[in-house]
Amino acid sequence: MSDAHRPATPPRHSMRTAAASSASYLSWLPLARQTARIRAIASSALVPHERAMADATVLTAWLTTAQRLEYAPTLRAGSDAEEFVARLADERRVVLEEGADTVADEVESAAEAERAARQLPLRLLETLLLLGALTFFVLTIMSMEVTNGLPGVPTSRELWLMGGIVMTAVLAAVVGRVATRRRDRALLSWAVKRPGQLGRGVPVTRALQGESLGPALVATLAPVLLVGIGIVGMFFGAAVLLLELLSRDDASMTTPALVSLVGAALALLLSVVLGRLRGRRLELVARRARAIEWFGPVLETPAAGPTSEPSGGVQDIPGLGPRSDASSP
């Protein structure tokens, strides 16, 4: 086939993925629908002006007011947010249609800014808190092995240890999330100081909004634990109420059984709410990853070697697996 009749390869920002096309087969599952929606955001084929407007809107909402005002003079925009979105969309559209201009010190300056934004003290604190949670977990297991109480009924010491697990894990998640937000703010502050950088994207070896172990662990295990607590509470409350109805002698356990049923219902409801919030956050992460995607030469990451796409793109969305192109077997 001659080059004149060869079908043109679609632009990289408009290529669809196999995951997005195959996700419809699993749409009957709520989790699959949520994942399909996130992947559709990440791989949607928008024309350049639509993609540019979407990216500009997301970026404007992501930036702080001070960052937006600092970048506005480079766009010749005033303090009005709508004007900022329109000018930023024009800047992004030029990059999508014509490609990014080569800037000599862009990659080196971004690497230096990324090293300065690592938030090592907070990451160290997060690691120590996770080690504390692991220590509490081991102590809880050891205490259950040597306890002389009733099987399946935790003692007061074990309850305190379980509380320590929850507290340290939640603190680790909070510290990890704060560290990620501060890193993102620092890199966005670097970008707004450089004219045209938001239009070109941010070249980083580790994607913005990347979740560390603490937030990822809590976000994954919290709904599962709440569902487990809800199921156990429902069975316990129903069994106790059934025994109370059959015996008709002592109704002292009726109130604890009702409390167990109400608590189980609240735990199940909270697990659903956390799942919804998690899904909305992943959708926001997907949109932000597209908005900040860098269109430039391939970067080399220390661990994985050269990447197949620019850093900061939709292939690095936290919470989703690696993206596979439709042309791959």
Nearest to 217 by CA among 180, 173, 175, 171: 173
Residue 252 lies inside a defined structural domain of this protein: yes
* pTM to 2 decimal places: 0.72
Give the tokens for residue 127: 């690691």
What does the pLDDT look like over 68-88, one tens digit per residue?
Answer: 999 999 998 888 889 999 999
* Residue 15: predicted pLDDT: 45
DSSP helix, strand, coil percent of the chain (3-state; round to 5): 70, 0, 30
Summarize the confidence of residues 313-329 as an average pLDDT.
43
CB atoms within 10 A of CB 277: 12
Does residue 329 lie within any of the structural domains? no
Q: Which residue do the tokens 């197949």 mark?
A: 308
Q: Which of 35, 26, 200 is nearest to 106 (CA)?
A: 200
In the predicted model, what is the mean pLDDT of residues 182-190?
94
Mean pLDDT lowest among 76-90, 192-206, 220-234, 296-310: 296-310
Does residue 63 form part of some domain?
no
Query: Who has greater pLDDT, 324 or 85?
Result: 85
Q: Is 316 exposed, middle or buried (0-12, 13-18, 19+ CB in 10 A)?
A: buried
pLDDT tens column, 191-214: 999 998 999 999 888 888 888 889
- Residue 237 phi, psi (nearest 5): -65, -40
Looking at residues 48-64, what average pLDDT do you find?
91
Total number of domains in the chain? 1
Residue 18 forms part of a structural domain: no
Q: Is residue 270 in some structural domain? A: yes
Does residue 38 lie in a domain region? no
The answer to whether residue 14 sits within a structural domain is no
Q: Which domain, by its residues, includes 141? A: 100-316
In a domain, 40, yes or no: no
Residue 159 backbone dihedrals phi, psi, to 5 degrees? -65, -40
